[in-house]
């Protein structure tokens, strides 16, 4: 499918008419900023093809600033070289027109043709939903939905499966076969799709559960009655024993004694806190004196260090001055060698240029030879294409009738099985002959009855036998109608069987594939056409002449040094000059730093020596020595007092008297409350037992158990039937799924060809729904949902390219549309995506809408800017 032009009027953001024509058959890029209308173009393409023209829910496509507008979209496209024109008007004067070659279709008939051509289904009512979009929903990607390949692939499952069946030669049908549907229908009467019970089985389970609950409730009541009798006797004995012993009074006396010990412990804690506060104050004063003395000692050490540092700094200044003088002489010598090597390097460069031009001339001559050969091969391939086109036309078969023929064969198979199962069978072993509707039977054998039969038994009379299934005649009529249509289609197609039709269709596919092979050969040798190849040959010869002319203008380089030697000498001289200059700068910095360091040490030493000689500083140190002795004596006294107080407090708190007092008091309250609770429970149990004694619980329990047993037998019968049907369905579905699994190979192979351009070591797995499910790049595969959004987006693009290849090979029209699809992709992976798109563009038309034109300017494709297209449409 090749889109040739599109005209849009009064559609969302595009109120003024927009016409885009001259689409390339390969890659097309339309660029524009955000909210310029790119997504509106994509939505117009989807709407004109997929939406029903007379749907009433498309009011949102009318431009907000032009509420009386008439949304109209017209597209021109070709399929297998046949021109198509589609025009739809929406919302107000709804219309639909479709021209295919010289034929015209309108309204619903036109939309049915579109759906059949492109591979999607029309919604019965309302706007089109994702599940209706089929192949276009898979290949036309909305902005921000590139990663939703599993959803769109699931909606296109039937079309992809049909395509893969053609390519792989598989027999997978387009839906469940009749036998699976029949078994599923019977199973559905007892089990849901999720294996939950329903119908009679669910009703029986519900009734059985209710009866069991009633029985269990009665059983529990009987057990509770017996237990309550035993519990009443036990409670009465416990109550009488506690009333006699009164254990709570002893616990209350222990609580009073523990409270007295807790008061004495609290007084010792107060004394300990006072001693700790006094000791903390003295420790703070002692630490302050220590800090002051340490500062004085640090000052004395700093004076000693600075005296030694001053001597070292003076020696460093002298050494730096000598080094600076030597560095200045080295710079002058390096400059001279640098100038001499620069001249030699320029001459060597001229020699290299001359050699390059000679090599280019040699390559141009080789290109001219290759282009001559390619032109010859391209002409040959073009002639082969014309011949194969004629052969394919002779064996082409109506695909729609072939598809109907296959459907009839698949439909008849379960009907024949059902007919065979429904026929009444009579096995006979006769000692004498009998007649059945006038036909003589003797010996042994089997008789199948499609309708009522009369058996004549000599000497005994007649037996009239009627088949058991009431609708057998209807089944036979249906089967005969299908067989009649089957025979008519074989005659119309000019074949003897479905296998013969398939062979003829395969021959047509083979010739079409050979034609495509020669087309690829033609595209390989002349990707832009034979005339373009001739132009390239002319250009190559012109480039050779220009190269020879440049070579003649170069100077004589016979005595030039090798470029590597000249460059090495020049680089060595340049590096030597740079090193010499850097050494000179470093020597200057060292000289300045040494002088500054000497002055700083001298100033710091003078200031510290003055502080040490100050009389006040000396007097303060003498006073601190006396205060040290006083604070040490106080700290030792506080330590002895705290030790004695701590021992007394530990002994007093050994058993936590306050906690013991609370524990004993609480225990006494608990015992009193337990006695009261026992008295209340005894009264309640006596009343409950008297009330339940007259209800006849035992007789009710026996009746309930009999009812449960009766319903349980019915439930087991239904459960056995449900399990048998479930097993049969699973076996049939497994066999069908095995057939579908063989269809994955072509899709997996095509996915791999595109995947290696972005993920060289990756492998994309496909599930039974023929959609990607996981990416393996090591030992452990990763599900698509666990990957980053950018990676899911990239895999979505590659998967759609693979789907397009397979659909095209199966004869389906393909057009790929990506609306800002490579947004969350880094530069490296974007290059891989672009290479994949260029490869796919050899076989498909691709539309890329983007707000990042700079990302697509290296593909050799002229970008079309939306603003320019709008201006041209207004002109």
In the three-class reduction of DSSP (H, G, I as helix; E, B as strand; rest coil), residue 704 is classed as: helix
Give the residue extent of every domain in the chain.
2-168+742-874
The set of residues, in sequence order, having a beta carbon less than 8 Å from that of 400 and lying 6+ positions away, is: 116
- What are 333-375's pLDDT values in tens digits? 888 888 888 877 777 887 878 778 788 888 888 888 888 888 8
In the three-class reduction of DSSP (H, G, I as helix; E, B as strand; rest coil), residue 613 is classed as: coil
Backbone angles phi, psi at 180, to 5 degrees: -65, -40
Q: How far is CA 509 from CA 392, 515, 709, in A?
A: 8, 10, 66
In 485-566, DSSP assigns E strands to none
Strand partners, 100: 84, 103
CB-CB contact of 277 with 283 (8 Å):
no
C-alpha–C-alpha distance, residues 830 and 838, integer Å = 12
Write out the two tokens for 284.
Answer: 């703070």
The set of residues, in sequence order, having a beta carbon less than 8 Å from that of 642 and lying 6+ positions away, is: 272, 275, 276, 279
Residue 830: name the closest of 721, 726, 757 by CA: 757
Residue 603's CB: how many other CB atoms inside 10 A? 9
What is the structure's pLDDT at 172?
A: 46
C-alpha–C-alpha distance, residues 188 and 171, integer Å = 27
Do the strands 845-850 and 27-31 form a parallel or antiparallel pair, or are they unpaired? Answer: parallel
- What are 482-538's pLDDT values in tens digits? 888 888 888 888 888 888 888 888 888 888 888 888 888 888 878 888 888 888 888
The 8-class DSSP code of residue 44 comes to H
What is the structure's pLDDT at 27?
A: 94
Strand partners, 99: 85, 104
Residue 219's CB: how many other CB atoms inside 10 A? 15
pTM of the shown model: 0.42
Question: What is the sign of the dihedral through the CA atoms of 733, 736, 738 and 740?
Answer: negative
Do the strands 815-819 and 845-850 form a parallel or antiparallel pair, or are they unpaired? Answer: parallel
Q: Which residues of 391-411 are buried (b: 16+ CB within 10 A; e: fewer)?
A: ebeeeebeeeebeebbebbbb
Q: How far is CA 294 from CA 613, 621, 635, in A?
A: 17, 11, 21
Length, in residues, of the chain: 875
What is the structure's pLDDT at 176?
A: 46
CB-CB contact of 122 with 132 (8 Å):
yes
Q: How far is CA 295 from CA 242, 284, 743, in A?
A: 78, 17, 89
The helix or strand, by DSSP H or E, that contains position 2, with its residue range, turns out to be strand 2-9
| Positions of the chain with pLDDT lower than 70, given as ranges | 165-178, 420-425, 448-451, 466-473, 652-653, 690-698, 733, 735-744, 768-769, 875
Q: What angle do CA 668, 671, 672 make, to 5 degrees?
A: 90
Do the strands 434-436 and 103-106 form a parallel or antiparallel pair, or are they unpaired? Answer: unpaired
C-alpha–C-alpha distance, residues 110 and 54, integer Å = 13
What is the structure's pLDDT at 448?
A: 65
Candidate CATH numbers 2.60.410.10, 3.40.50.300, 3.40.1350.10, 3.40.630.30; the one for domain 2-168+742-874: 3.40.50.300
The set of residues, in sequence order, having a beta carbon less than 8 Å from that of 721 and lying 6+ positions away, is: 190
C-alpha–C-alpha distance, residues 648 and 22, integer Å = 105
| Cα Dmax for the chain | 159
Residue 713: name the closest of 161, 208, 224, 91 by CA: 208
- What are 430-445's pLDDT values in tens digits? 777 788 777 787 778 7
């Amino acid at each position: 499918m090749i889109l040739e032009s599109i005209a849009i009027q009064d559609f969302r953001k595009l109120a003024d008419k927009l016409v885009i024509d001259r689409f390339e058959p390969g890659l097309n890029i339309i660029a524009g900023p955000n909210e310029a209308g790119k997504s509106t173009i994509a939505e117009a393409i989807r709407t004109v093809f997929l939406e029903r023209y007379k749907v009433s829910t498309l009011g949102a496509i009318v431009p907000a600033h032009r509420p009386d507008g008439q949304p109209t979209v017209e597209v021109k496209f070709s399929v297998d070289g046949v021109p198509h024109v589609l025009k739809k008007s929406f919302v107000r004067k709804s219309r639909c027109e479709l021209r295919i070659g010289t034929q015209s279709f309108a309204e619903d008939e036109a939309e049915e043709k579109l759906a059949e051509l492109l591979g999607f289904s029309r919604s019965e009512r309302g706007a089109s939903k994702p599940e209706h979009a089929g192949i276009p929903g898979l290949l036309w990607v909305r902005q921000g939905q590139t990663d939703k390949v599993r959803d769109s692939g699931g909606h296109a499952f039937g079309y992809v499966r049909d395509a893969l069946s053609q390519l792989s030669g598989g027999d997978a049908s387009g839906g469940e076969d009749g036998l699976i549907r029949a078994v599923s229908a019977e199973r559905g009467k007892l089990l849901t799709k999720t294996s939950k019970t329903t119908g009679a089985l669910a009703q029986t389970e519900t009734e059985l559960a209710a009866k069991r609950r009633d029985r269990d409730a009665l059983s529990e009541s009987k057990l509770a009655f017996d237990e309550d009798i035993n519990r009443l006797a036990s409670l009465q004995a416990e109550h009488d024993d506690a009333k006699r012993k009164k254990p709570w009074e002893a616990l209350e006396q222990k609580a009073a004694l523990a409270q007295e010990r807790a008061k004495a412990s609290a007084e010792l804690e107060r004394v300990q806190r006072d001693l700790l506060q006094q000791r903390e104050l003295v420790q703070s004063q002692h630490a302050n004196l220590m800090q002051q003395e340490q500062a004085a000692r640090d000052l004395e050490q700093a004076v000693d260090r600075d005296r030694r540092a001053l001597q070292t700094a003076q020696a460093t200044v002298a050494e730096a001055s000598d080094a600076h003088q030597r560095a200045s002489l080295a710079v002058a010598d390096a400059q001279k060698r640098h100038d001499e090597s620069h001249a030699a390097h320029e001459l060597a460069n001229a020699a290299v240029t001359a050699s390059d031009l000679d090599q280019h001339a040699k390559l141009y001559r080789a290109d001219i030879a290759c282009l001559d050969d390619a032109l010859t091969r391209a002409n040959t391939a073009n002639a082969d294409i014309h011949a194969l086109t004629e052969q394919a036309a002779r064996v082409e078969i109506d695909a729609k009738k072939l598809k109907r023929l296959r459907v009839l064969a698949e439909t008849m198979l379960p009907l024949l099985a059902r007919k065979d199962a429904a026929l009444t069978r009579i096995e006979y072993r006769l000692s004498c002959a009998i007649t059945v509707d006038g036909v003589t039977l003797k010996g042994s054998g089997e008789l199948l009855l499609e309708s009522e039969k009369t058996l004549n038994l000599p000497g005994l009379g007649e037996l009239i036998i009627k088949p058991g299934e009431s609708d057998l005649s209807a089944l036979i009529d249906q089967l005969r109608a299908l067989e009649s249509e089957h025979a008519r289609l074989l005659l119309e197609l000019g074949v003897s069987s479905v296998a013969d039709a398939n062979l003829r269709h395969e021959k047509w596919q083979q010739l079409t594939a050979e034609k495509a092979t020669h087309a690829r050969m033609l595209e390989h040798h002349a990707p832009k056409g034979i005339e373009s190849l001739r132009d390239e040959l002319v250009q190559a010869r012109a480039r050779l002449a220009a190269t020879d002319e440049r070579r003649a203008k170069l100077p004589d380089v016979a005595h030039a040094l090798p470029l590597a030697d000249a460059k090495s000498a020049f680089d060595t001289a340049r590096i030597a000059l740079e090193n010499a200059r850097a050494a000179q700068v470093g020597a200057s910095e060292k000289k300045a730093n040494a002088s500054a360091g000497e002055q700083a040490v001298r100033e710091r030493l003078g200031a510290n020596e003055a502080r040490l000689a100050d009389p006040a500083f000396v007097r303060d140190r003498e006073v601190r020595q006396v205060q040290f002795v006083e604070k040490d004596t106080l700290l030792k006294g506080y330590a002895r007092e705290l030790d004695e107080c701590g021992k007394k407090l530990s002994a007093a708190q050994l058993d936590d008297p306050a906690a013991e007092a609370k524990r004993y008091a609480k225990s006494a309250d608990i015992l009193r409350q337990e006695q009261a609770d026992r008295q209340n429970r005894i009264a309640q149990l006596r009343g409950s037992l008297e009330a339940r004694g007259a209800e006849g619980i035992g007789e009710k329990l026996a009746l309930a158990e009999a009812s449960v047993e009766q319903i349980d037998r019915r439930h087991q019968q239904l459960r056995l039937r449900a399990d048998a049907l479930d097993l049969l369905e699973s076996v049939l579905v497994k066999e069908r799924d095995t057939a579908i699994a063989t269809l994955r190979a072509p899709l997996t192979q095509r996915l791999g060809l595109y995947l290696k351009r972005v993920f060289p070591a990756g492998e994309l797995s496909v599930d039974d729904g023929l959609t990607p499910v996981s990416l393996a790049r090591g030992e452990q595969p990763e599900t698509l949902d666990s990957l980053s959004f950018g990676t899911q987006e990239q895999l979505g693009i590659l998967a759609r390219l693979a789907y397009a290849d397979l659909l095209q090979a199966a004869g389906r029209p393909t057009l790929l549309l990506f609306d800002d699809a490579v947004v969350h992709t880094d530069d490296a992976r974007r290059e891989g995506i672009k290479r994949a798109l260029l490869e796919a563009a050899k076989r498909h038309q691709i539309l890329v809408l983007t707000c990042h034109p700079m990302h697509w300017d290296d593909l050799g494709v002229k970008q079309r800017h939306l603003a320019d297209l709008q201006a041209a449409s207004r002109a």
